[in-house]
Structures are given as structure tokens and as C-alpha cells.
Amino acid sequence: MPVWFTRDLTLGDTGDDVLIVQRKLDAPLTGTYDDDTAARVRGAQKKMGNEQTGVVDAETAENLGEKADAGQVPDWFTSECEPDCHCPAVAKVRVLLGQPNLPVYHDEALQAAVRRFQSANGLEVSGRVDEATAIALADRSY
């Protein structure tokens, strides 16, 4: 069970747990479980194959995931990272892919590791760290 899930969430509820659900579903961050949030939950439940109640119950929370920021662009990703770039994300990507932390630019070894990760995770295989790759990398790191 995700650590952020402490209760079923339904219309009118407020709190940090509501904000987490709204962040996960790309809903407006109001902190109040409103009709728009419920509609997005129903959409997520449909996609997950769950009963479409619009209520975040234990099963829905489990499917939404443990990490409160799952599915979100990580803070370290500021722009696409491609071969020969020296962007700040290179060091983080190297750590997440188990690569040596040097050199601090996107070399052939890092490009190959990114391609393997993309292939293993059903992403477009380009060797570049784009937004989708950054999100997948961040989501798998705990």
C-alpha cells in the first residue's frame, strides 16, 4: 500500500493526499477533491481496468503507485540530454543507470546505457534523455 494513502478519497476531501492524487493525474492542484479530480480518477480507473467509482480506494491508490511524485518530470530534468551535451542531468542519469559518474558529459557509453533502458521500458530508443525517459528513470528509482 502506498505510504501516502491513509484513507479513501472522495468529493469534498482536502489535504496533502488529495494534492498527491491531483499531481499524479495532472489535475489542477487545488488540494480539494472536486468533480474534475473525480473525473480524472474515473479515467485512470478505466485505464487500469478497475471499477470506475471516482473514489481513490486502496486498489486505486495501489495502482497509482508508491512514489508521491510518480509520473512527474523530475526536478533534475531541465532539458533534453543528448550525446556530447554537458547538461546538469548527466551526473544524475549516470547514477540512475549505474554508470560511473565521470565523465560529466553524455558520451557513447551513457548513450548505450540510455538506449538499453529505453528498449527495456518500451520507450522510443534514441539514446537521448527526453522527458519520457527522465520520468521513467525517476519512477524506477526509490
Q: Are 56 and 95 in a shared domain?
A: no
Is 72 part of any domain? no
84 pLDDT more than 50: yes
> Which phi and psi (to 5°) does residue 56 adopt?
-85, 100
Report if residue 60 sits inside a domain.
yes
Q: For the segment 88-139, what is each residue's pLDDT rounded down to a tens digit?
A: 888 889 888 988 777 788 888 899 999 999 998 888 999 999 988 998 888 7
DSSP, residue by residue, 101-119: S-SSS--HHHHHHHHHHHH
pLDDT surpassing 60 at residue 34: yes
Those residues whose C-beta lies under 8 Å from the C-beta of residue 132, and which sit 6 or more positions away, are: 123, 124
Residue 50 belongs to a domain = yes
Tell me: pLDDT of 35 over 90. Answer: yes
The whole domain housing 54 covers: 16-64
- What's this model's pTM, rounded to 2 decimal places? 0.56
pLDDT band of residue 67 (cuts 50, 70, 90) is low
Stretch 45-74: mean pLDDT, rounded? 86
The mean pLDDT value for 76-95 works out to 87
How many domains would you assign to the chain?
2
